Chain A
């Protein structure tokens, strides 16, 4: 049913507060949804000398974004930065299923009902589509705004190379390897987290992030559930009551006045239902998406702390090894070099990590502020709209009787 869908983009959905500057501006100018993949048109404007042109576009798929993200994570040089979280995989399965079910049930409902439902489901599909585009865009913008990551070679290739990057998704073996890596990592993470940090700042951040991440996870899940039930509390049941009454009265020759009454009320509920749907959509955008994003970002921040912790442990181990070597007077030089390396690595990470975490807080506060303000403003706007509809309808109805 949904062959493909092309969308021209709305202003950037920003869950992060980013300073964009002229040296490098990235956005997703177009997107195409095909049967089982989405093609993003990544558009770049840059004054940097690295690029052949000052403005250019390429087409990328989700796997290529993941490849880019993973290359950052695996790069030792970036150990001291919060790696912008990868965008989630585009998931239209639920929406597609619903559209398919609708198609199958076409015979069992009236043409009007069918068209209405189809429109609703298509709007839902479109909303999911816009969201996935926005999330992919935010990832690129974060990279482009980062003073170090923006210079990454893979990033430039991603932006400029106009052929397919031939990045295939991970095969079974690699996925299994990943799984084990994660198991080891979390076990290690627990070990590392147990090590008390001398530095108060980091010790505080560790405690804070751990709790914050869990709470955001919970809030994100609960907000999703709340918004889902908001979507399903339509006034359609009541609409049906009214339409049935209205239809019944059409079969008896009731006075026009009565028909008009029910007609007006069912029109009213049509309109308020649309507003209710928009309320749920706005809550989704401003609240649920915000929480989801900061769930991923707080995880990335935790990952940074883990890497630093890991480096600290390595540094302390290297110190111990050096002491041992000195005591035995064996392989001292080797131990010294190793210790210096570890020390250097640890200090480098600590330095950038501190700034990253401070930036994270700034970004987070700004994003929450922006979204909460917008959420409140939208809720007010919709409530006032609803109120006005209801009041004007009521005054008409009461005046009639």
Chain B
């Protein structure tokens, strides 16, 4: 029997739309300098000062008042130079906009993978469409368009974003996991329930990944993201293959990072960071535990479904052997009701699984990204400290050179010191920048997390409502049959 595989967050794919023009005029190289210098050009500079978790203003900002008219954000190519005072109003609008996300968001639907013969690979359709209210982000040329992407393209996108943004403190949403086994089944063309489930799982995961990425106000404007969403052809991302040399290199780097992290002993001057890190540690543990208990719930429900089906068959047999006609019919009806209820149990188990289990899995991976960002901050600090120590040494060396008669060496030393002073300053700036960014990112993350869980819970409750309504239908149909027994 085929269990229906629910498709959450899936929108109906319409007719194929026109391919979009390649929008990005910028190179794909790191563009971060123009986006997050901590001078007045940074839109968010004020934001981090204003909004702390405890600030009373935050509640006002998060209130459900009607969102004021949103001023369009000009694309990154133009330089924004407003004065600081005039930023305060637009900045709070910015945050309001984030909170009431729907008013500006794009919606992305990932649908229907298809196999394209020549490449012996699977392409996923992306359909982007914007809300009627919001062409406020004029980064997009058109209102609605659709492109085809391969799974490796998604991984490539993530890899690029990670290399650009992670080390400056942005929480880049992790890409869905590779599954060699699952994908092989699909490639081979095996059409069965488990491969259908796998496809649906992956489709849903890709959709969630993209939505998270575009919901991020900074990532949304990234040229790689724009290219990914809009251009009809994408250069093949080769280095994302699971067993490629690039992949191995990445693994080695990750391991090296882990070792390094353990040896950094940072003087944490900011209690906020210490606290947050601890909280995320705890959250990580909790989420993993909860992930496990959802799986056990799903198991129980499937067991209930099996036992209900068995009982239904047994009741049907009993009805067959009953020689009182009306009772016999009623028992057969009971058997039918129980069979339908069994189907309900199965659907409910699917809901449990897809909604909660996948969400928890996503968040376990996200927390890893968050922890990574904290680690980068430590590394940035380390770099700064290292430059400082080096500067110190050079200064001492220079002092010693003062007493020798080597004017060239002295000059060289002075030059090196000048350079190092610049480096130290930069290091300090970098550290402060990443700290600021992380604060902002964490607050955004926590808001998004609440939103995600709330929306999943509401979806789940709605599925429970449906189940109860079906139950009522079935039993109401059965009752007159039972009463008809004379």
Contact = CB atoms under 8 A, between A and B. Distances in A.
Interface in A352-380: 361, 364-365, 368-369, 372-373, 375-377, 379-380
A391 interface: yes
Contacts of A322: none
A383 B471 contact: yes
Nearest to B450: A258
A40 to B, nearest CB: 32
A124 interface: no
Contacts of B356: 238, 241
A219 B335 CA distance: 11
Given A365-B485, A384-B472, A390 B464 contact: yes
Nearest to B290: A241
Contact of A376 (B315, B479, B486): B479
B327 A368 contact: yes
A222 B307 contact: yes
- Do most interface residues of chain A lie in helix, strand or loop, or is the interface mixed? helix
A237 B307 contact: no
Contacts of B324: 361, 364-365
A238 B458 contact: no
Contacts of B318: 212, 215-216, 218-219
Contacts of B446: 252, 254
Contact of B297 (A238, A244, A384, A394): A238
Contact of A387 (B59, B331, B468): B468
B118 interface: no
B171 to A, nearest CB: 17
A396 to B, nearest CB: 11
B457 interface: yes
A219 B318 CA distance: 7
A329 interface: no
A39 interface: no
A216 B283 CA distance: 51
Contact of A368 (B286, B310, B330, B464): B330
B211 interface: no
B62 A380 contact: no
B105 to A, nearest CB: 16
A237 B297 contact: yes
B465 A401 contact: no
Interface residues of A, number: 58
A254 B468 CA distance: 33
Interface centre among B311, B327, B330, B360, by most A CB within 10 Å? Answer: B311
A157 interface: no
Interface in B72-91: none
B311 A219 contact: yes
A211 B317 CA distance: 10
B246 to A, nearest CB: 38
B147 to A, nearest CB: 32
Contact of B472 (A229, A261, A387): A387
Contacts of B411: none
A221 to B, nearest CB: 8
A268 B453 CA distance: 16
Contacts of B320: 215
Interface in B405-421: none
Contacts of B294: 237-238, 241
Contact of A229 (B304, B323, B454): B304
Interface string A222-238: 11011011101101011
Contacts of A248: 279, 282-283, 286
B310 A229 contact: no
A364 to B, nearest CB: 8
- Do most interface residues of chain B lie in helix, strand or loop, or is the interface mixed? helix
B181 to A, nearest CB: 27
A226 B303 CA distance: 9
B457 A265 contact: yes
B483 interface: yes
A359 to B, nearest CB: 13
A237 B324 CA distance: 44
A238 B355 CA distance: 11
A226 B341 CA distance: 12
Given A237-B297, A248-B283, A223 B479 contact: no
B469 A365 contact: no
A397 interface: yes
B321 interface: yes
A253 interface: yes
Contact of A365 (B290, B315, B327): B327
B300 interface: yes
Contacts of A390: 461, 464-465, 468
Interface in A241-263: 241-242, 244-245, 248, 251-255, 258, 261
Interface in A280-334: none
B426 interface: no
A387 B330 contact: no
Contacts of B21: none
A229 to B, nearest CB: 4
Interface string B294-305: 101100110110
A265 to B, nearest CB: 6
A294 to B, nearest CB: 10
A52 interface: no
A84 to B, nearest CB: 21
Given A219-B311, A252-B53, A229 B300 contact: yes
Contact of B290 (A240, A369, A377): A240
Interface centre among B294, B297, B446, B478, by most A CB within 10 Å? Answer: B297
A285 to B, nearest CB: 16
Interface centre among A361, A372, A380, A384, by most B CB within 10 Å? Answer: A372
Interface of B: 53-54, 58-59, 62, 279, 282-283, 286, 290, 293-294, 296-297, 300-301, 303-304, 307-308, 310-311, 313-315, 317-318, 320-324, 326-327, 330-331, 334, 352, 356, 360, 446, 450, 453-454, 457-458, 460-462, 464-465, 468-469, 471-472, 475-476, 478-479, 482-483, 485-486
10 contacts: A223-B311, A225-B310, A237-B290, A248-B279, A251-B279, A255-B58, A261-B454, A364-B327, A375-B482, A397-B461
Given A222-B307, A237-B293, A242-B457, 11 more contacts: A218-B317, A225-B307, A226-B311, A233-B300, A254-B446, A365-B327, A369-B330, A369-B485, A373-B482, A376-B482, A383-B472
- The 5 residue pairs across chains A and B that have the minimum distance between CB atoms: A369-B485, A237-B297, A372-B482, A387-B468, A222-B311
Interface of A: 208, 211-212, 215-216, 218-219, 222-223, 225-226, 228-230, 232-233, 235, 237-238, 240-242, 244-245, 248, 251-255, 258, 261, 265, 268, 272, 361, 364-365, 368-369, 372-373, 375-377, 379-380, 383-384, 386-387, 390-391, 393-394, 397-398, 401
